[in-house]
Amino acid sequence: MPKKTIWMTGCTSGLGRALVDEFTAAGHTVVGCGRRSELIEQLQHAFPSPHFFSSLDVAEDDQAEQFCREAYEATGAPDLLLNNAATVNEPAPLWEISAEEFDRVTAININGTANMIRHAVPMMIERGKGIIVNLSSGWGRSTSPNVAPYCASKWAIEGLTQALAQELPRGLAAMALNPGVINTRMLQTCWGEHASSYGDAESWATTAAPFLLGLKVSQNGQALSAP
């Protein structure tokens, strides 16, 4: 398989961090970002150039713009853009969730995805090829109580991706991906000790990474589920 340049948000923990190991081990170039600067520094040390890691909050458009500009200078446009960064609310009925917490969930999960698309996709269009994968959720296609903000954000990702797929020029494609149920910190927030009944991110990444690398432009607009 030809080596690819992969840009990924939310690379410091969970699914994103596990994918870093899989992609780099296979010889691909990884460009990653996350909010925790100390974890980004660890990635910079572990994976030096040609890889590129930077700390930022994707919910801030100016930070996303700067990141994309610096990443482009380091690696060129991405073959694969993975919008993975997300957060979840503390479980509670919707009317008990503060406006600040609701806004934070939607700012990262929806706005953060749109911010990356706004600045990275024109680079991909100029190159004439590339695939965008926006991480959705089972809660982007169904619902559960006490996670209404998260459900709303992931349903939004499904709609955003469908519209984006209709807008992209030939050579580019966008898909929404439900990764499945994996024992991450986010799942532990929602399910507590019951999260341990599910496989970990590292095991998930061993099959998810080749699946992502094998996506084709002909799959544009599809709502996918990881194997």
Tell me the two tokens of residue 63.
């930070």
Cα maximum dimension of the chain: 50
Q: Tell which residue, 84, 75, 72, has the closest CA to residue 29.
A: 75
> Which SS3 state, helix, strand or coil, does residue 226 take?
coil
Q: Is the peptide bond before 145 cis (omega within 30 degrees of 0)?
A: no
DSSP 194: G
Q: Is the dihedral of CA 100, 138, 40, 42 positive or negative?
A: positive
Q: How far is CA 133 from CA 15, 22, 38, 43, in A?
A: 14, 17, 26, 22
Let me know if 150 is a catalytic residue. Answer: yes
E strands, 87-159, where? Answer: 130-135
Task: Say if residues 207 and 226 touch (Cβ distance below 8 Å).
Answer: yes
The catalytic position among 67, 150, 155, 204 is 150
128's CB contacts (< 8 A; 6+ apart) are 171
Which residues are catalytic, by number?
150
